[in-house]
């Protein structure tokens, strides 16, 4: 099954606001698993997105290995008077190769709108980072049949014109599935991912055919295989289950034949 994939999957762990230096030990275990070949690193790209404070030490520890490092958010500007903010250029300088933008927690906690997310994705591209752009409907929106309308609107508003399969990853994360243990059915995921592929095709052209479309929301070792087998699902964005190396490596095992 994995060998039939035309797009190399990406499994990215989002630590959110969790982890102090002691957590680097978990990243180290993931790195060891990749180096040991037990997770077939050639079959999947693996990324951890720790809090900004840990990017630099994590990147130093991961140097020379296959573990990728990402940030969780960035400012739209490269530098300036924006106390407390971090630019995409700074993330790149610290050793990140990607940044998550438009996570629903950012959209909710910080009132980020699609246009803000698009500007952040553009900032990521400017800095040479891959933008991992998150979209997803709320439970209320799904209940009244608005899922595809919402996803279509978020893709139209959040994905910049310059997005390509090389510089952009889209993560479908139903808001109601994040951190709840709930997941959509495989059929529901298939419907949204096919819709995203088509919509991005209209928006961006041919490059959308090989753009990675991740599923995120309560992914764990026990459901990873089923979710990753869904058509047009090219990997996972993992929150809670990325904090412990054993759990995270259990998800990576879904890519081992």
Task: Select which of 75, 103, 125, 193 is catalytic.
Answer: 103
By CB under 6 A, tell whether 235 contacts ligand PGA: no
134: CB partners within 8 A, 6+ apart: 100, 101, 102, 103, 104, 170, 171, 173, 216, 237
- Choice between 201 and 250, CB closer to ligand PGA: 250
By CB under 6 A, tell whether 214 contacts ligand PGA: no
Handedness of CA 30, 230, 2, 202 (dihedral sign): negative
28 is an active site residue: no
By CB under 6 A, tell whether 239 contacts ligand PGA: yes
Cα-to-chain-centroid distance, residue 195:
18
CA distance 1 to 225: 11
By CB under 6 A, tell whether 179 contacts ligand PGA: yes
Is-contact 247 220, C-beta < 8 A?
A: yes
Shortest Å, Cβ 219 to ligand PGA: 5
CA distance 85 to 8: 32
- Alpha-carbon distances of 56 from 29, 36, 121, 219, rounded to whole Å: 17, 23, 21, 27
CA distance 200 to 221: 29
- Choice between 13 and 152, CB closer to ligand PGA: 13
- Choice between 189 and 204, CB closer to ligand PGA: 189
- Choice between 14 and 130, CB closer to ligand PGA: 14
Which residues, numbered 119-178, are part of the site for ligand PGA (CB under 6 A)? 173, 178
Task: Select which of 105, 122, 141, 173 is catalytic.
Answer: 173
- Alpha-carbon distances of 87 from 92, 130, 196, rounded to whole Å: 9, 14, 28
List 39, 199, 218, 223, residue binding ligand PGA (CB under 6 A): 218
- Binding piece for ligand PGA, criterion CB under 6 A, among 114-122, 201-209, 231-239, 246-254: 231-239
CA distance 6 to 97: 22
List 75, 217, 252, 254, residue binding ligand PGA (CB under 6 A): 217
103 is an active site residue: yes
By CB under 6 A, tell whether 37 contacts ligand PGA: no
Contact positions vs ligand PGA (CB under 6 A)? 14, 173, 178-179, 216-219, 237-241
Which residues are identified as catalytic?
Answer: 103, 173
């Amino acid at each position: 099954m994995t060998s039939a994939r035309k797009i190399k999957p990406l499994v990215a762990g989002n630590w959110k606001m969790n982890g102090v230096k002691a957590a680097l030990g978990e990243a180290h275990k993931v790195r060891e698993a990749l180096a040991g070949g037990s997770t077939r690193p050639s079959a999947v790209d693996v990324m951890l997105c720790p809090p900004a404070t840990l990017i630099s030490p994590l990147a130093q520890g991961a140097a020379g290995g296959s573990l990728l490092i990402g940030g969780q958010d960035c400012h739209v500007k490269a530098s300036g008077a924006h106390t407390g903010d971090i630019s995409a250029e700074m993330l790149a300088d610290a050793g990140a190769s990607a940044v998550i933008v438009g996570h629903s927690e950012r959209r909710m906690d910080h009132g980020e709108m699609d246009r803000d997310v698009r500007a952040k994705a553009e900032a990521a591209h400017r800095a040479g980072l891959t933008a991992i752009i998150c979209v997803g409907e709320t439970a209320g929106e799904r209940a009244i049949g608005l899922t595809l309308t919402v996803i279509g609107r978020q893709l139209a508003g959040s994905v910049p014109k310059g997005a390509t399969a090389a510089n952009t990853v889209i993560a479908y994360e139903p808001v109601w599935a994040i951190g709840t243990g709930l997941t959509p059915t495989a059929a529901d995921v298939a419907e949204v991912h096919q819709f995203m592929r088509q919509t991005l095709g209209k928006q961006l052209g041919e490059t959308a055919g090989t753009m990675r479309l991740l599923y995120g929301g309560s992914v764990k070792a026990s459901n990873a295989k089923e979710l990753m087998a869904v058509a047009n699902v090219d990997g996972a964005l993992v929150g809670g289950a990325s904090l412990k190396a054993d759990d995270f490596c259990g998800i990576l095992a879904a890519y081992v034949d």
